Amino acid sequence: MLMRRFSQRNSLVTLSDINITPLLDLAFVLLIIFVITTPLLEQGLNLKLPAGGRPDQPLDKSDIRTVEVNPQGRYMLQGRTMVASQVESELVRAFHGNPNLYVYIRADENVPFKYITDLMDRCNRNGILKFSCRTVPPERHP
């Protein structure tokens, strides 16, 4: 009878050990998936910028808001597609929080000019006077 109790205790001890190797494998696989997919999530509109311009002066990234405009007149700000009035209200809110706000306008070379001028006019009406139309440096343009 003493022998039987000892064998039961051994079987309980072996059941309480957890093999964490499969858990570590799963954690590493998930880590690799997130590392690969995160840059894809940060991608904006597929735009072909016009050539021209000169090198940028260094700016603090927290002072910059980039508005993208595609040929169909869709606006994108901070990864969200918006209409012009929503972009305006977001930029005004950011400008009140940071008077050094600088707006980068990334517009496809085939965008009708009315979308760009509408955005610039909305910035001007709200006192946002620092903006830049982004281009591709001439040496990189095909």
CATH number of the domain to which 79 belongs: 3.30.420.270
| Order of all β-strands in the sheet with 102-107 | 80-82, 75-77, 64-69, 102-107, 131-133
- Banded model confidence at residue 79, pLDDT cuts 50, 70, 90: confident
Q: 82 by DSSP, 3-state: which?
A: strand
Q: Is the pLDDT of residue 118 over 80?
A: yes
Same domain membership, residue 30 and residue 74: no
User: Total structural domains in the chain?
Assistant: 2
Side chain identity at 95, as an amino acid letter?
A: F
- The range of the structural domain enclosing residue 7 comes to 2-41
Same domain membership, residue 120 and residue 78: yes
Give residues with Cβ within 8 angstroms of 115, minimum separation 6: 69, 73, 75, 84, 107
| pLDDT at residue 141, rounded to an integer | 47
More confident residue, 119 or 59: 119
**Whole-number Cα distances in Å, 139 to 30, 50, 62:** 40, 12, 28
| pLDDT at residue 67, rounded to an integer | 92
- Banded model confidence at residue 142, pLDDT cuts 50, 70, 90: low
Q: For residue 93, tell me if it sits in a domain.
A: yes
Return d(Cα 110, Cα 127) in angstroms, integer.
28
